[in-house]
């Protein structure tokens, strides 16, 4: 099972979300990272509600094997899907129960029924001990508390 840091968080939601420096720290701890990507006026930006932290394609490309890119606008989807030299792992959703990522994984909305080999999103909002075996069948867990779930699920 993979552990995905939600927006670069390690110990809960906070002010360090979608900031390249903190995303890199997550990657140094061997967590994957879910990021929120905007493409606006020819610029790539990270941020949940708006593009706030500018990055470039080389930054994104260098980390592509460990990023789960939540495209926040249609321009971001168009850009990533047209990049034939880089295979990015990306998706778009709002409140869909399930979203298929570009690497063919189901991104499961928090609290929805888990499907084996899917991504369980924000288990800190819905997880109960009785669900452990169901979560363990998932490909990954995306959480604001990656260390907590790494320990709980005994992930190396």
Start-to-end C-alpha separation, the chain: 9
Domain ranges of the chain: 2-152
Class of CATH domain 2-152: alpha beta
pLDDT (mean) for 149-154: 95
- Candidates 155, 152, 143; CA nearest to 11 is 143
Tokens of 128: 């109960």
3-state secondary structure the chain: CEEEEECCCCCCCCCCCCCHHHHHHHHHCCCEEEEEEEEECCEEEECCCCCCEEECHHHHHHCHHHEEEEECCHHHHHHHHCCCCCCCCEECCCCCCEEECCCCCEEECCCCCCCCCCEEECHHHCCCHHHHHHHHCCCEEEECCHHHHHHHCCCC
18-64 pLDDT tens trace: 999 999 999 999 999 999 999 999 999 999 999 999 999 999 999 99
Bridge partners for 119 per DSSP: 107, 140
Query: What confidence tens digit (pLDDT) does each residue in 83-109 have?
Result: 766 689 999 998 899 999 999 999 999
């Amino acid at each position: 099972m993979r552990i995905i840091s939600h927006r670069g968080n390690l110990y809960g939601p906070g002010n360090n979300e979608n900031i390249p420096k903190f995303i890199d720290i997550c990657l140094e701890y061997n967590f994957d990272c879910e990021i929120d990507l905007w493409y606006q006026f020819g610029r790539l930006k990270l941020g949940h509600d708006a593009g706030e932290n500018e990055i470039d394609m080389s930054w994104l490309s260098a980390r592509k094997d460990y990023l789960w890119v939540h495209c926040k606008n249609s321009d971001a989807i168009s850009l990533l899907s047209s990049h034939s030299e880089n295979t990015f792992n990306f998706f778009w959703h709002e409140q869909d129960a399930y979203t298929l990522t570009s690497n063919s994984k189901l991104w499961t909305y928090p609290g929805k029924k888990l499907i084996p080999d899917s991504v369980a999103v924000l288990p800190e909002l819905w997880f109960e001990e009785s669900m452990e075996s169901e979560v363990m069948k998932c490909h990954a867990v995306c959480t604001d508390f990656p260390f907590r779930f790494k320990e709980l699920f005994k992930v190396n």
